[in-house]
Amino acid sequence: MAILGAENPEELPMLRTSTEKQTPGGLATPMVWTAVAVVLVAATQWARRWLVSGAAVESLLLLYGYGMGTRIFPDVPIWSLLALFNLAYAVCSTSWLFWALFTAACYPIVALTCMLQFKVVSEAARKNLRRLLKELHFTRDKIALFNLPALEIDTDVDGLFVIRGVTISLSSLTIVAHGIELGLKIGDGIEFAACCDRVHIALFRKVEVSHVYGSIKGGKPELFFGDLDEEGDRADNDVPVFGETALLRAATLSADGFNRKDRPKLRQSLTGVSWMKDSSPRAGLESVTALSADDGKAEEQYHSMLKDICLTSTLHEARSKVKATQNEEGQGFKLTNEKDERAAICAELHKLPSVAHPPSRSVRVTTLQTLAPLKVRNFMQRMPFMYRLLLAAVAYFHRISIQSINVAASGAFVAATLQSKVFKHYASENADIRRLERRIKSWLADANFCLQLGDIHSHAHVPLSSSYEISAYLRTDDLVATRMVPEQGVLERVVRLGGADAQCFIPAFLIPHHEHVIPPKISAKDEEHYKQEIETADGEPKAKQGELELERAQKDETVIRVSAHVSLPASFDQSLLDFTGALVKATKIIEIEKEFDGYAPTGLDSPPPTSPTTPTLSPANTFSTFDDDASIHSATSTDTTSTNNTVKSHFHSIAHKVRSNIKDSTHTTNGKIKSLATDLGHTTHRGMKKALGGMVNDRWVAKMVGKIAGSLQAAQGDLGYSGEIPVRLGGYRAKEGLASKLLP
């Protein structure tokens, strides 16, 4: 539009030049109506009230814009617009309260109409706003903010949130955030990083997010993963596959979380710089870049800053590096489509700091929470209905769509976690486990894995009544997992699904200032009532549910219910099936090792372990079970477990009888015979573990894994899981001295 200099007027429906045919005397009609309005105001009381409300002024402004061909809402006929606007005034004029509200809303509309329709007013407004709001960049119909202070998260989690630029468009009522970066500390040495180029918020319409890239990484300790041993696979090699590295220590964090006393500063850890400083909100706004008051220079600087944000973003650098690598012969990944390119970008971002463009200042969340005066905070605390009303409007009018979410993780870190949580010390004691661990390491250690969710749509519903739950829904039409080995140029899709969806239900009393609707703590009387309901429950399922409810009430907990589904059919890469088979076999052998650890022979006089539910087999039947490979292959996990128990019981019984007979038959060489019997018991124990470990053979495991994968590739429908996330209510309960609620 010529008046406001919009770059693409067709994108701004409010500002398009009117296409209505004008009379030769374009200003004649507005002048006539102005004269009529003056006469009415001078002669009648209702016209003076009409003028004071602003309705008369807005009507005349619309007529002048119509005459000049610059009217707002040109697609709506002028007389229909005037009739609708004045009908709204007529309804509001019947009540003094509605008339006051209409007047308060009408004058901002008058000011906005003047700026949108008349060039002189818009230019004067821009210049004056640039002088008054030195921290803002006001150009054309936009307000822009650059060099904003970072938001330091110091509440339930620790992190840093950066927005490099914000553009607010008054004409189209949109807010655009440029260069978003987020870094969260999950534990010592474990970080989650996410970045996005653009978030477009169309007020009261929708929210559109560009491609989001994230990574879960061990931070700098991942650089030391090359210290792992590279020795061959030998049965006599007792050196652990995974050394005691910083990455392994990060993977074995305790549930207590950070040791805040010894950890490095949060900002320095996430950004890699040490010059960021704490700031108050006022000081942070003073650091925002101020631009020229001249229209031409302001416009030039505005576009220059946006271009700089785009060219220096981590996504642009990673994308450029991926494309440059493709131009080198024999280097990089072979990218065949956009999904492969996004996965390669994730691999590059994994090497960069979590927050690559930190500003010079940061403002803490706890500082912003205390920004409002105490009286205002106390007053708002008494009106929880206003929170629900605001959240309900925001959730209803702002459906969220995301182009894609791409999250990468290091295979090295996953391997270290498996070693610390699954393999533990068993690899150094069992050659089979050690060989399986090395197979798993070879598939994980040098690779990165990327999970991609494409074309995501999400919406939420916040009820006005606190008796109902908050619900949130998310749906993606594509789900792909990719394995990448940058050194070898390997990029393969290991999992592909037809889509996924998730739904979450949150109790309404978890919204701030809703402590008055939190269930009270359980009393002795309530506990007794729970127990009576459990005793009189109609069936075992109801009794189990009652026990769970009682346990939650005793712990003072509530739950957030989560339900997730994936759409079948699914496809799997052969390398993933081989990895899964190796992991299944390793866990099965470790399970057998754990069972035998409880039956280890302790001495000559120790009695054999007995189990009232374990049947006894004869030696002939026992050995025939081991020799019959066909029966092993067709046996289920239940049959294998039962056989294991009976065989262990029988062998320990034999060893005990041998030791008892030897003890009864000789007394002169008791020491030597006792040693011989103990060795026999240990030899029998080791032989049993080896024999039972051999039962879990590669052919059987591969057959079972392949059968399950084949079923999923041919199946139709959804495969899902529902669970609950416990939430402690202690921090949400009301503190003493709070005033009563005005609007609960």
Per-residue DSSP letters for 257-294? ---TTTSPPHHHHHHS-S--EE--HHHHHHTSPP--SS
Residue-level pLDDT at 139: 61
The model's pLDDT over 448-496, given as tens digits with 9 standing for 90+, comes to: 899 999 999 999 999 999 889 999 999 999 999 999 887 777 888 999 9
103 shares its domain with 187: no
73 & 168 share domain: no
| 305 pLDDT higher than 70 | yes
Looking at residue 604, what is its pLDDT? 38
Contact 193, 186 (CB under 8 A): no
391 or 189, greater pLDDT: 391
Please write the tens of the pLDDT for every residue from 255-268.
344 444 433 466 66
Comparing 440 with 632, the larger pLDDT belongs to 440
268 occurs within a structural domain: yes
pLDDT for the residue 162: 93
Cβ-in-10-Å burial (0-12, 13-18, 19+) of 94 comes to exposed
Q: Which one has a higher pLDDT value, 731 or 507?
A: 507
Give the chain's mean pLDDT.
75
- Give pLDDT, residue 475: 95
Q: What is the mean pLDDT of residues 176-199?
A: 87
Residue scoring higher pLDDT (622 or 466) = 466
My answer on whether 379 and 476 are in the same domain is: yes
Instruction: Please give the residue range of the domain that contains residue 469.
Output: 148-276+314-356+358-521+556-568
In order, the DSSP letters of 629-688 are: HHHHHH--HHHHHHHHHHHHHHHHHHHHHHHHHHHHH-STTHHHHHHHHHHHHHHHHHHH
Residue of higher predicted confidence among 535 and 425: 535
Looking at the structure, tell me whether residues 319 and 427 fall in a common domain. yes
The least confident of 91-105, 315-329, 503-517, 673-687 is: 673-687
Give residue for tokens 């496809």.
571
Mean pLDDT across the stretch 562-579? 90
Confidence of residue 34 (pLDDT cuts 50, 70, 90): confident
The residue ranking higher by pLDDT, 273 or 484, is 484
Overall number of domains in the chain: 3
Tell me the per-residue pLDDT of 512-555, one tens digit each, with 9 for 90 and over: 888 888 998 999 999 999 999 999 988 889 999 999 999 999 99
pLDDT band at residue 244 using 50, 70 and 90 as cut-offs: very low
Provide the 3-class DSSP secondary structure of residue 580.
helix
Whether 201 and 344 share a structural domain: yes
Report the predicted TM-score, pTM, of the whole model to 2 decimal places.
0.69
Mean pLDDT of 347-368: 84
In this structure, are 90 and 157 located in the same domain? no
Residues 491 and 605 occupy one common structural domain: no
- The distance of Cα 198 from the centroid of its chain, to the nearest Å, equals 18
- Please report which confidence band the pLDDT of residue 5 belongs to, taking 50, 70 and 90 as the band edges: very low
169-186 mean pLDDT: 87
Whether 540 is in a domain gets the answer no
| Residue bearing tokens 């590295």 | 245
The reply to whether 106 falls in a domain is yes
Q: Is 70 exceeded by the pLDDT of residue 643?
A: no
Based on the domain organization, do 333 and 383 belong to the same domain? yes
Domain membership of residue 654 (yes or no) is yes
- What average pLDDT does this structure show over 707-726? 87
- Residues contacting residue 222 through CB under 8 Å, at least 6 positions apart: 247, 410, 412, 413
Q: How far is residue 534's CA from residue 514's CA, in Å, rounded to a whole number?
A: 31
Mean pLDDT value across residues 174-179: 93
| 614 vs 393 pLDDT, higher one | 393
In a domain, 534, yes or no: no
The pLDDT, as a whole number, for residue 726 is 92
User: Which is more confidently placed, 633 or 307?
Assistant: 307
User: Would you say residue 732 lies in a domain?
Assistant: no
Same domain, 421 and 564: yes
Is 727 among the domain residues? Answer: no
* 155-169, 340-354, 612-626, 681-695, range with the lowest pLDDT: 612-626
pLDDT score at 632: 31
CA angle 104, 107, 110 (to 5 degrees): 150
What's CA 627's distance to the chain center, in Å?
52
Q: Please tell me the predicted confidence (pLDDT) of residue 292.
A: 54
Q: Among 364-368, 439-443, 689-693, which is the least confidently predicted range?
A: 689-693
Give residue 663's pLDDT.
52
Residue 388 shares a structural domain with residue 444: yes
Q: Do 270 and 396 lie in a common domain? A: yes
Listed as own residue / partner, the contacts of 242-249 with beta carbons closer than 8 Å and 24 or more positions apart are 242/415, 242/416, 242/419, 242/420, 242/441, 245/221, 245/416, 246/189, 246/218, 246/220, 246/221, 247/189, 247/218, 247/221, 247/222, 247/412, 247/413, 247/416, 248/416, 248/419, 248/420, 249/188, 249/189, 249/221
Asked if 326 and 260 sit in the same domain, the reply is yes
Mean pLDDT of 336-346: 88
Q: What percent of the chain has pLDDT over 90?
A: 24
Asked if the structure places residue 89 within a domain, the reply is yes
Residue 433: alpha-carbon gap to chain centroid:
35
